[in-house]
Structure 1
Amino acid sequence: SGKEIVNFVQSYIKELDGSEKETQKITQKVNKWKHPPDQTVKINFDAAYDERSSQAASGIVVRNREGKALISCSEIHHQIGSAFAAEALACRRTVQIGIEMKWSKIIIEGDSLSIIKKCKENREDKSHIGAYIHDIQQIMSRSRNLMFEYIPRATNRLAHILAKESMKKREEIYLADSVPEYAEFQRVNDNVREPD
């Protein structure tokens, strides 16, 4: 009957709405920055690239187990040939910071899957960013406690904000134990832990 069909369709729509809401909840949890384990720091990096001016900006943030920002910094790079090269430069600077600070365990996270994969491989890279990858591998050889992880862009928002704002304002930053005011909301949001 017509009434049964209407009831079926309404029930089906409710079921679809419910599954969509569940999917959104799952997606939101996956896209949240995760605190590193004890005795480990996480360093997130990202890059912003302006093709017209061939300029790029790196955004880097170092956080500990509690989610406290140990370092936040950005750098401007000139005469950069591609967004890919900009990401490689940001990654190289991230590795340098990790090694220079001599933390015992380091997880480096970025949202460029290609860069993360190249850094994990221990072979010569023959792409146009091969020199950057070679530099990263050379720097990494000074530490055994450094690993790379790919994360989605939504999980890498704080580093993204640092890179984007640095590019927009054409200014570099280097802050110990804090982030710039324009990134504070994201730092606080990232620091809220999901219930177990």
Structure 2
Amino acid sequence: MEENPRAYALQTIYKKIYKQLWSLNLPSKVKVTIWRLSWNYLPTKVNLQHRKLAANTSCPRCGQRAETMNHVFRECPVTVDIWRALSFQNILTNQCEDFIQWLTWAVEQLNPRQGQIFYCTLWAVWGDRNKRVHEGKVSNGKDTASFINSYIKELTDFENRDLKKGKEIRKWMYPQSEFVKINFDGAYKETQNRSASGIVVRDSEGHVLLSYSKIHDGVSSPFAAEAIACWTAVKIGIDKGWQSLIFEGDSLAIIKRCNTKEQDRLMVGTYIYDIQKKIFGLNNISFQHTSRSANNLAHILATATLRSGEEVYLEMGVPEYVEDQERQDRMREPN
């Protein structure tokens, strides 16, 4: 692989990037690509050569130089044209040769709105590169810049539409009669690389079978915190011997990964792999995405545990501080 500083150093450097990235109105697929990019996990030609999977390191878009991270996102003429078409050419003025330093410098120059465009552009540049490699599709800088502008407009339109609708709160839904539903959520504290998992198990009548929370140390990101929470929920469900299970969380990226059979190469891939091993051969298992408002009980458990440091294990009940939320959930109409 290309030069990759030690993980602990990177975690400190990336705090500002992750804090801004996870707060922006961007799809999970964009955020995950940026996360992979920041850890140099993208299969550039140079990275593939280091893994002995490619002999030719030339950039597939311009063919002029070796395809390093710097070249893909800063130096390739096609990429330069994209930044210029978006009026972002000022981020190319930094002459630092280290990609990570350039990335952190660029983020510091941008306000949230510009950051949204910047991250979306990095994602689109990698997507354009992959279309060239895998589909033979060729786009120029203006075409890609036009796509980015349209994509950002679509995101903004959706955001404005949701604001106009007001706060439409989705409600926790009762599972079908034979199912047990396990809601999970992860809370993350970046200053300590610590997370907490909140787990609530309920039957088809809305009765709480178990409420549980656990603190985890050495966690690298909010994304990892969600993966660990999901893994914890699955472990509880399988260990308890419940046969028909619905695992429900508000992290769409994690739910999608649990529902796919493909091997996940991200850092959280070990948790996803272990989840799939645990449920192998079981038929009445499903992973469902829901909104934060419908997952609030697990969310409160996770955040309160992370704040107080006090873990929870209660059968047939919940801690006192979430009793009001639990009653509100039971008042919902069964589906």
TM-score, length-scaled by structure 2: 0.50
Give me the whole-angstrom Cα distance separating, in 1, the residues matched to 2:260 and 2:334: 35
Q: Does residue 1:43 correspond to 2:182, yes or no? A: yes
Where relative contact order (Cα < 8 A, 6+ residues apart) is larger, the structure is 1
Partner of 1:135: 274
* Per-residue deviation, 1:67: 0.6
Q: Deviations along 1:49-78, whole A, 9 cap, x unmatched?
A: 000000000000000011111000000000
Secondary structure of 1:108's partner? strand
Partner of 1:32: 171
Secondary structure of 1:85's partner? helix
Percent identity over the alignment is 47
Give me the whole-angstrom Cα distance separating, in 2, the residues matched to 1:123 and 1:150: 19
CA shift in 2, pair 1:172/1:195, >3 Å: closer
* Per-residue deviation, 1:195: 8.2
Secondary structure of 2:236's partner? helix
For these two proteins, the number of residue pairs brought into alignment is 173
* Per-residue deviation, 1:100: 1.1
* Per-residue deviation, 1:24: 5.3
Q: Does residue 1:101 correspond to 2:235, yes or no? A: no
CA shift in 2, pair 1:195/1:150, >3 Å: closer
Partner of 2:252: 113
Partner of 1:145: 284
Secondary structure of 1:188's partner? helix
Partner of 1:122: 261
Q: Deviations along 1:103-160, whole A, 9 cap, x unmatched?
A: 1211100000000000000110011211111111111115221100000111100000
Give me the whole-angstrom Cα distance separating, in 1, the residues matched to 2:233 and 2:332: 25
Question: Given that residues 63 and 69 in structure 1 are in contact (C-alpha distance below 8 angstroms), is that contact kept between their aligned partners in structure 2?
Answer: yes
Secondary structure of 2:274's partner? helix
Give me the whole-angstrom Cα distance separating, in 2, the residues matched to 1:195 and 1:78: 37
* Per-residue deviation, 1:34: 0.4
- The answer for unaligned runs of 5 or more in structure 2 is 1-161
- The answer for unaligned runs of 5 or more in structure 1 is 1-19
Question: Given that residues 60 and 74 in structure 1 are in contact (C-alpha distance below 8 angstroms), is that contact kept between their aligned partners in structure 2?
Answer: yes
* Per-residue deviation, 1:193: 2.6
**Greater share of helix residues, 1 or 2?**
2
CA shift in 2, pair 1:195/1:137, >3 Å: closer
- Structural RMSD (CA): 1.8
CA shift in 2, pair 1:35/1:79, >3 Å: same
Q: Which residue identity is paired with 2:179?
A: T
Partner of 2:219: 80
Question: Given that residues 99 and 143 in structure 1 are in contact (C-alpha distance below 8 angstroms), is that contact kept between their aligned partners in structure 2?
Answer: no
Partner of 1:194: 333
* Per-residue deviation, 1:194: 2.9
